[in-house]
Amino acid sequence: MRSLWMATIAAALGACGYGLSTPGARLPEGTHSVSIALFENHTRTRGLEVELRRALEEEFRRRGGLAVVPEPGGDVVVDGSIRRLGDTPVASRGSDEAVALQQRISVSVRVVRRSTGQVVLRAPRVVEVTEFGVEPGAIITTSPRFQSEPVDARDIANLSNVPLGEGRRDTAQHDLVQKLATDIYSVTMEGF
């Protein structure tokens, strides 16, 4: 009965797009180390490529599977392009005052075998999205920031919109980069 139950779970996971895989199964045999290159930054946000590189290095170190080594030493190198980072209003007061924004980052990723130059993995579009409020009364309860740190309403009421919006934008961008690093690790090491 137990084996029938496990077979049912495995079939269900496979049917919904999830699967169980071995870490690093998509990488060439004998791959023991990775280098993270600076991604090309096609956005207007200076330093975004450095922030992404640091987040990726930390994610690979934290989750393991491959030793992270500086360029040009890895068996494989993760590189790519930051295609887009932008905000879109998702809630407004009246017709022209945004009170909540959605921030989206989009990158393309490659994993290249250093010894041959062969591209062993290509993910042309990896996207992460988050929402944040830009007005003192707008709290996006689904945002990672809101869920991880309680906000004191008295403090929010005393802040102006611009500093609050910029601070939340910076926090949202940091959260996006962290989530993106997790996604890129998963694509590289777990095949998701």
pTM exceeds 0.85: no
Question: How far is it, in rounded angstroms, from Cα 150 to Cα 95?
Answer: 30
Per-residue pLDDT reduced to its tens digit, 45-74: 999 999 999 999 999 999 988 999 998 889
Per-residue pLDDT reduced to its tens digit, 89-116: 877 776 666 778 888 999 999 999 999 9
Asked whether residue 17 is domain-assigned, the answer is: no
Q: Answer whether 116's CB lies under 8 Å from 138's CB.
A: no
Per-residue pLDDT reduced to its tens digit, 145-159: 555 655 555 555 544
Could you tell me the CATH number of the domain that includes residue 134?
3.30.160.150
Q: Is 147 helix (H, G, I), strand (E, B) or coil?
A: helix
Domain that holds residue 101: 26-190
Domain count, the chain: 1
Calculate what percentage of the chain has a pLDDT beyond 90: 44
Q: Which amino acid is at 138?
A: A
Asked whether residue 11 is domain-assigned, the answer is: no
Task: Quickly state the pLDDT bin for 22 (edges 50, 70, 90).
Answer: very low
Is pLDDT of 191 > 90? no
Q: Cα–Cα distances in Å, from 160 out to 7, 92, 142, 156, 190? A: 57, 17, 22, 8, 44
